[in-house]
Amino acid sequence: MSLYKFSIKPMIRHLEITSEILKKGVDYAAEKNIQHEELLQARLIEDMKPLVYQIQRISDTAKGVVQRVAGAEAVSMPDDEVTFDDLQKRIQKTLDVLNSVKESDFEGKEDDEVIMKLPSGELKFTGYSYITGFALPNFYFHVTTAYDILRIKGVPVGKADFLSTTSLNQI
């Protein structure tokens, strides 16, 4: 299986699922007369980042795969989202980035070096180890955390929403 099929395709699917879960958050807020800010700034625990941050990291991780493995030009998105609409726009921009690459852009990149520059230094991977050991776990960590934040705030989402069995044919 290609790097593209086990990274980009599931990321597209889960960005779409996350978009739907966010819509349920908006609907729930309207139904319960909850200010959007309460959900957008909600955290699982005090030392974790809020919902807005989780969506930004989902986006950055997905864009990072396209840049670092496929060699596409970096797409800058400032972390300035403050509304659900802003988050939906960011998800759509991220989907546009992912949909702009082709499977052939990932061919032969399994062993190519991937370097992540961090304030504390560099992390070095192969294309394969970056996707399987860092990008996908990080992506799903933030997807799950976003889901959990909305769930803990009472938004009626469940496992079926997270798995969205209606979109399985997209992978």
- State what percent of residues in the chain have pLDDT above 90: 94
- The full set of domain ranges for the chain reads 3-170
| CATH classification (class only), 3-170 | mainly alpha
Which residues are 123's β-sheet partners? Answer: 116
User: Which residues are within 8 A (CB) of 167 and not within 5 positions of it... i.e. 6 or more apart?
Assistant: 13, 16, 17
Question: Given this model, what pLDDT does residue 156 score?
Answer: 96
The C-alpha atoms of residue 162 and residue 21 are separated, in whole angstroms, by 8
Task: Assess whether pLDDT exceeds 70 at residue 107.
Answer: yes
Phi, psi of 73 (to 5 degrees): -65, 140
Phi, psi of 118 (to 5 degrees): -120, 160
Assign 3-class secondary structure to the chain.
CCHHHHHHHHHHHHHHHHHHHHHHHHHHHHHHCCCHHHHHCCCCCCCCCCHHHHHHHHHHHHHHHHHHCCCCCCCCCCCCCCCHHHHHHHHHHHHHHHHCCCHHHHCCCCCCEEEEEECCEEEEEEHHHHHHHHHHHHHHHHHHHHHHHHHHCCCCCCHHHHHCHHHHHHC
Tell me the per-residue pLDDT of 33-91, one tens digit each, with 9 for 90 and over: 999 999 999 999 999 999 999 999 999 999 999 999 999 999 999 999 999 999 999 99
Question: Given this model, what pLDDT does residue 39 score?
Answer: 98
pTM exceeds 0.85, yes or no: yes
Question: Given this model, what pLDDT does residue 166 score?
Answer: 60
Question: Given this model, what pLDDT does residue 1 score?
Answer: 82
User: Which residues are within 8 A (CB) of 105 and not within 5 positions of it... i.e. 6 or more apart?
Assistant: 4, 70, 71, 72
